[in-house]
Amino acid sequence: MKKSDLVTSILKNQSAKAAAPAEAEAYASANIALIKYWGKRDQELNLPNTSSLSISLSVFGTRTRVKHTKGSDKIFLNKKKLAASDGFVLRIRRFLDLFRSKNEYYEINTLNTVPTAAGLASSASGFAALVKALNDFYAWGLGPRELSILARLGSGSACRSIEEGFVLWNCGIRKDGMDSFAEKIDIRWPELAIGVIMLSTEKKKISSREGMQRTVETSVLYHSWQQKVEQDLARLKQALENKDIALLGQTAESNALSMHATALAAWPPVCYWQPKSLEMIQRVWALRHQGLGLYLTMDAGANIKLLFKSGIEKVVKNHFPTVECIYPFK
């Protein structure tokens, strides 16, 4: 099945439920996976091999405005018009082709409060914001489930950025991908803090898409990774229900390090860490050995995300002066 077939299936019964506006704007938060998404069973539809679970980053995200224009698409990123040959533009245009009529062109204005392609899920918030804006622009009236499926076609993890808070992406088993969608977990945890340590804002040399494909095809550890995800999901759900920071932190940290281990076991090896990354990891381990309830996670990039409860924020900032603390539920 092609992406265009799936879009047609979702939109075939949609007619504008209200007058479509001249332009539309939407915001979507970036998210970090506490249980990672790493590997696809279908490259075309971005269908994952395993389910995953994330937390939104609220202040880190993307705001996108959509309106029609004439002659050709005009794509702006952080107020700068990008060349038609730019990789970001080409990716956005291919995605817009799924929805546009003949001779229909768009002006897309995207503002990122998260560095692009640096391992902080800018593509996730970007495609989620674009899909939410298109939903308003065409007055489709789609719900979160359908929007998450459409966002997934742009970037897999974008399906988790449609909603805020804790979000579960069900991997599904259907070939058409209609059972692979994200849904909000109705749990709030106001004391939970995410600390973002930016070590690099440079574009990754190996994209997440390339890295996970290489891992699936060549890593001898990948089969074990899929089994671990299933176990970790059960543990993390228990941690959320009990608001158990130790169980959440241990599970998320183990899951993240296992994902990076599978990538390192690929050939050629896929390594997103930088020397500073390992320094931060070892500092977290040393502090935890001293009794501090501090844990970490990493996505496909060099940057570190800390997991802890609000009561130790001052201590965390003393040891990590550049950390930016986010409270997803405040």
Domains of the chain: 3-184 (3.30.230.10), 192-326 (3.30.70.890)
pTM of the model as a whole: 0.93
Q: What is the mean pLDDT of residues 171-192?
A: 97
Measured at the alpha carbon of residue 188, what is the angle toward residues 186 and 190, in degrees to the nearest 5?
Answer: 170
Peptide bond preceding 115 in cis form (omega within 30 of 0): no
State yes or no: pLDDT of 119 exceeds 80. no
Give dist(CA 202, CA 327) in Å, integer.
26
- Per residue in 265-280, pLDDT (tens digit) is 999 999 999 999 999 9
Mean of the pLDDT values across residues 18-41?
92
Residue 251 has pLDDT above 80, yes or no: yes
pLDDT tens-digit readout, 295-323: 999 999 999 999 999 999 999 999 999 99
Instruction: Determine the pLDDT at residue 15.
Output: 60
Sign of CA dihedral 168, 208, 324, 276: positive
- Closest residue by Cα to residue 117 from 84, 151, 77, 80: 77
Q: What is the pLDDT of residues 71-102, one digit of tens each?
A: 999 999 999 999 999 988 999 999 999 999 99
Model confidence band, residue 123 (pLDDT cutoffs 50, 70, 90)? confident
- The kind and range of the H/E element at 63 are strand 52-69
Residue 243's SS3 state is coil
Q: Which residue has the tokens 């395993």?
A: 50
Per-residue pLDDT at 203:
81
Q: Cβ neighbours of residue 117 under 8 Å, at least 6 residues apart?
A: 123, 203, 204, 207
Reported as half-sphere exposure (CB side, CA atoms, 13 A), residue 57 has a value of 26
